[in-house]
Amino acid sequence: MKNYLKFNLTGEKLFPVMFLIIMLIAMPLIYIIYELSQFDSTSFKEVWVLIPILGGFMIFPILLSYYVEKMKIEGFEYEGKSVEFNGTFKEFAKQFFIGLFLSIVTVGVYIPWFITNLQKFYVNNSSYEGYRPEFLGKGLKLFLIITFLALVPSIFGSIMDKAINVFHQPLLIFVVGGVVMVIKMIIMSPFYYFQYRWYFDARFKGLTILWNTDTWDSILAIIKQSLFMFLTFGIYLPVGYLKLYKYFAERTVAVNENENYHLGYDLEPMADFKFIWGQALMTIITIGIYFPWAYCKVMSRVVGKTYIIKN
């Protein structure tokens, strides 16, 4: 029997925090753009001073993201009962500033452990029916994933980008550039797979939650949908994303010696395509003002068609 999830967060509730976050991002950016418009060769050092100012301002919207994540977590419902979140802003701020400081001191090396601690904060402080999950992902594993599956391919991709400059004919540059983009997409696919698989490593009520996937089949599925998105200039994106969501949902399991659960998703390609693009167009028409409502409606639709089955 399929037991469906629900997502109850509304745009009205999300809008005030999202609006404040957008304003905190927009104001320093507008200031930077204005200062750059006044830029001349004699004030080069002054421009560099703007970078830490912008970085300082960006801390505030990141801190406010705590409230967005809290509302999102508490928006999930299953069998008439909502997920609760008990993590405090004080705990989050402490984790954030310690992680930020260590990431700066180590020139970015600490970032995987920073991400791990934030993930643990959100997962371990959530609860359902009084039970708390435990996130099991390790910082070292994420470090290896980022280093070998993201940084190394990115360096290789940068070398290929530079190689395009040897061509001079516009048409040839366009064709070769497209081929390079496809190659970069393919070599980054293992990173996307292992990164998201890393997030699905938890324990809840004695059940181990994980992806029960075949590595190469999963990577090929990502490459296939990514190519369709690329070839359609992004128009196919909603369907491609949801096909991957369905693929991995059906392979997300919660198991122990006596019980076995798995997720699923009722995909309606054309209806989902029209709905998501409709919400995206409304967001564009309103210059982003509608985004909180679009986000909540899309989440409500996708989560509402996601189900859990006990085998």
In this predicted model, what pLDDT tens digit does every residue of 273-289 receive, in sequence order? 999 999 999 999 998 89
> How many CB atoms are closer than 10 A to CB 104?
11
Q: What percent of the chain lies above the pLDDT cut of 70?
A: 88
CA distance 220 to 198: 18
Predicted confidence (pLDDT) at residue 127 exceeds the cutoff of 90:
yes
pLDDT of residue 50: 63
pLDDT of residue 96: 95
166 vs 40, higher pLDDT: 166
Q: Which two tokens stand for residue 172?
A: 């040839």
Q: Which two tokens stand for residue 175?
A: 């064709």
pLDDT of residue 42: 46
3-state helix, strand, coil split of the chain in percent (to 5) is 70, 15, 20
**What would the mean pLDDT of 161-176 be, rounded to a whole number?**
68
Assign 39 a pLDDT band (cuts: 50, 70, 90).
low
CA distance 212 to 155: 31
Question: What pTM, to 2 d.p., does this model score?
Answer: 0.89
Q: Where are the domains of the chain?
A: 133-199, 205-311
Assign 52 a pLDDT band (cuts: 50, 70, 90).
low
Predicted confidence (pLDDT) at residue 118 exceeds the cutoff of 90:
yes
